[in-house]
Structure 1
Amino acid sequence: MKVTMVVVLYKLKPEESKTFRTLTQIMNSTSNPFKDIELILYDNSPDKHDFTPPQHEGIHMTYYHDPRNLGIATAYNHAWSVAKGNHSQWLLLLDHDTELTQEYFHSILSLDNIPENVVAVVPKINSENTMISPVYSHSLRPLKDERPTPGIQDKPVMAINSGAFVSVQFLNEINGFNEDFALDYLDHWLFYKIYEKNRKVYLVDVELEHELSVLDYSRVSLQRYQSILDSEVNFYQNFKKDLLPKYRTQLAKRFLKQMLTVKNKEIAMQTLKRFFSL
C-alpha cells in the first residue's frame, strides 16, 4: 500500500515537533513499520530552517518551506498533489503536536479489505485526559455526548485532521481540501463532505495524544479567535445549515460565559458581534 504522509510545521524546527520526534523514534526502532512511504515536512514558518531530511529504510522524506503561511489547507493540497503524482492510495494528515505510536502505525498500515465506502480511517485522540476525536457531528457540544466506538461509523462523525488517514481517490472526487477553511474548521468540512457523499469513516481501536490549545482561551490570541469565528460562521451558514439556529443561540451563551470567565473581554465582544451578524 503506497502512502503519502504530511506533517505541517509552524515556527518549529522539525526536531522540535512532537510529531516528528515520535515519528523519528518509530523510524529508528527495530520494528519499523514503514514501506513505500512518502513523507513531506511542510513548513509554514516565516524563515526556512536548516534541515536535511535523514534517510530511513522504507520512507522517502522531503522538506518544503512555504513562507506565505497560507494555512493547513494549502499544505494538505500540496501533499494531495504529491500523492496523486506518486500513485498513493492514502494520504495521512499530521499536525506538529501529535504524539505518534508504533501501535497506531501498525494498525493503519496493516488494514486489509477496507470497504469501498470507507474513505477515512481515524484513531481515538485524547487531549488532557479527554477524548476529543472523533465525535458525533449532530451536536454543537459533542464533548458532552457519548463517544463513537471502534469500527465503521454509520452515524456522521467529525475527527480532527491530525492522525486522519484519507483516501486519495475520495480527495480527487471532492477536488482536494477547501481553502476557504485555511486553518480552522477544515476537519469539520472534510468529514461533512464524507457523509454528504454517502461514505463512511472507520475508527481504529488505538489512542493518540494531541495538544489542542483552542480548548483554553488563555492560550488563544484575539486574532486566532477571530479566525475561528470566521470559519465557524462559514461552516454553519453554508454547510451544516441545520445547526445554524442552535449555533446562534450558542454564541449568545458563549458571550455571557466569556464576559464572566475570560480575561480578554475583546474575545467576548467578537462573539457578540458575530451573534448580531447572523
Structure 2
Amino acid sequence: MTTPPLSCNGILAVVVVYKTQPADCLSMITLMASIANLPAGSPPVSVIVADNTPNGQQIKQLPNLVRYTAYEGNPGLARPYNDALLQAELGGFGWLLTLDQDTSLPGTFLRDMLGAARTYQGDSTVAAIVPRIVDGQRVISPFRYVGGFLPIVYSTNKSGLVGPHASALNSASLLRVSALRELGGYDESFPLHNSDTRLYQQLNEAGKRIAVAAHVVVPHELSILDRENRMSPERYRRMLEDECEFWDSHMGMLGRMERLVRLVGRYCKGILSGEQVMFQRVTLEELRRRLLTRRTNRIRRHLSNLAQIGQSLLPPKQ
C-alpha cells in the first residue's frame, strides 16, 4: 500500500531562553528576520518562546505571531519541546523547529528548510531535516556514531539522506510532528543535556531517517568547546553527570569506555593548556566517580535526582 504524500503544513518554532529577554536573544532576532524573508504564499510559521528563567522575568513586547510561556522551575529542554509538540499537533503544523537562544539563523534559513521539507514530504520515514552547524570554522553537527558509540562529524559535502546512527544538535533541527509523536516526544529522563542525542537514538531505533541540508549553514556556539568562557563550573559538572547517565543507560560498554578515554584526554589537555583549576577539578572528580562508583548506583542516583526535580517544578504560566 502506498503512503499518501504528507503536506508540509508549515512550521511551529520553539525557542527556549534562559535569563535572556526573548526579543534580544540571537535565535529570536535571526528567526524573525528569516520569517520576514519568506516569499508570499509560503506555508505558515508560528513561534513559541519557552522562558526557563528561574522565577520568571518581565518581558518586552513580542510580535503577534509569538506565544510566550514561562517555565519558572527551569525544566530544561525536553519538557518545553514536548509542550510545543502538542501545540504543533493542535495547530495542524507538519514540522517542529527546535531552537535554543544562541543560534544565528541565516536569512534564508526558513525558505531553504521549507524547500527541504517539501522534498521529503512524501516519505514518512524521514523524521528530521538538519542543517550543517558550525562553531567558528569547526563543523559540529550533524554526525554519526560509528559502531553505535564513536561520534564522527559528517563531511561538509555530505547531503541528503544519511545512514543509521545519525545524530544532530537540538538547535535548528526540523522535526516531523507525526514522527516525533510516534516516539512519544522527547525522553524527559534527559531533560537538558543529551536530550538531542537520546531523540536521534530513538528515531534510529524506530527506523526513521535523517536528511542533511548541507547547503544550510548555521553558526552556533557549543559551550563545551570553550567551557571557561561559556560555562560555569557547576554547569560543566551537571553536563558531565548527565552525559554519564546517558551513556550508562543507552550506549553500551564500548560507549562508556570511549567517554572515559575522552574525559582522561580532556583532563590532560586542561593541565597542558593551563585551564582554570576549578574546571580541572570538576573533570577529575567526574573521572573518579565513573571509576569508583558502580554503574547501577550511578543510574539509581540519576533516577532519584529526576524524581526530586519533578517535584520541584512549577507549572508553566501563559
Match of 1:206 in 2: 216
Match of 1:104 in 2: 109
Seen in structure 2, the aligned counterparts of structure 1 residues 248 and 254 have a Cα distance that, compared at 3 Å, is same
How much identity, in percent, do the aligned residues show?
Answer: 26
Q: Deviations over 1:163-193 (max 9, x none)?
A: 1011111221111111121111111111111
Q: Secondary structure at the match of 1:253?
A: helix
Say whether 1:258 aligns with 2:270: yes
Seen in structure 2, the aligned counterparts of structure 1 residues 140 and 113 have a Cα distance that, compared at 3 Å, is closer
Supply the distance in 2 between the matched residues of 1:168 and 1:155 (Cα, whole angstroms).
20
Say whether 1:7 aligns with 2:15: yes
Supply the distance in 1 between the matched residues of 2:39 and 2:198 (Cα, whole angstroms).
36
Say whether 1:48 aligns with 2:53: no
Say whether 1:244 aligns with 2:244: no
Say whether 1:227 aligns with 2:238: yes
TM-score by length of 2: 0.79
Say whether 1:18 aligns with 2:26: yes
Higher deviation after alignment, 221-230 or 133-142 = 133-142
Match of 2:184 in 1: 175
Say whether 1:27 aligns with 2:35: yes
Q: Secondary structure at the match of 1:216?
A: helix
Supply the distance in 1 between the matched residues of 2:37 and 2:110 (Cα, whole angstroms).
13
Q: Deviations over 1:12-70 (max 9, x none)?
A: 11222111111222334474785322210111113323233223xxxx32111111111
Residue number among 181, 190, 195 corresponding to 2:204 in the alignment:
195
Match of 1:88 in 2: 93
- Where do 4+ consecutive residues of structure 1 move more than 6 Å? none
Q: Deviations over 1:102-142 (max 9, x none)?
A: 32211211232412211000000011111111012225453
Q: Secondary structure at the match of 1:99?
A: coil
CA contact (8 A) 2:260 2:287 kept: no
Seen in structure 2, the aligned counterparts of structure 1 residues 249 and 28 have a Cα distance that, compared at 3 Å, is closer
Seen in structure 2, the aligned counterparts of structure 1 residues 201 and 83 have a Cα distance that, compared at 3 Å, is same
CA contact (8 A) 1:44 1:68 kept: yes
Seen in structure 2, the aligned counterparts of structure 1 residues 203 and 30 have a Cα distance that, compared at 3 Å, is closer
Supply the distance in 2 between the matched residues of 1:39 and 1:14 (Cα, whole angstroms).
11
Q: Deviations over 1:68-110 (max 9, x none)?
A: 1111111111111211221222111011111112322112112
CA contact (8 A) 1:91 1:165 kept: yes
Q: Return 5+ residue gaps in structure 2 as ranges.
A: 1-8, 296-318
Q: Secondary structure at the match of 2:50?
A: strand
Higher deviation after alignment, 18-27 or 244-253 = 244-253
Q: Secondary structure at the match of 1:11?
A: coil
Supply the distance in 1 between the matched residues of 2:73 and 2:202 (Cα, whole angstroms).
27
Match of 1:61 in 2: 66
Supply the distance in 1 between the matched residues of 2:212 and 2:34 (Cα, whole angstroms).
22
TM-score by length of 1: 0.90
Quote the offset at 1:147 in angstroms. Answer: 5.5
Supply the distance in 1 between the matched residues of 2:285 and 2:171 (Cα, whole angstroms).
28
Seen in structure 2, the aligned counterparts of structure 1 residues 67 and 209 have a Cα distance that, compared at 3 Å, is same
Q: Return 5+ residue gaps in structure 1 as ranges.
A: none
Seen in structure 2, the aligned counterparts of structure 1 residues 173 and 140 have a Cα distance that, compared at 3 Å, is same
Q: Secondary structure at the match of 2:58?
A: coil
Seen in structure 2, the aligned counterparts of structure 1 residues 95 and 34 have a Cα distance that, compared at 3 Å, is farther
Residue number among 270, 283, 286 corresponding to 1:271 in the alignment:
286
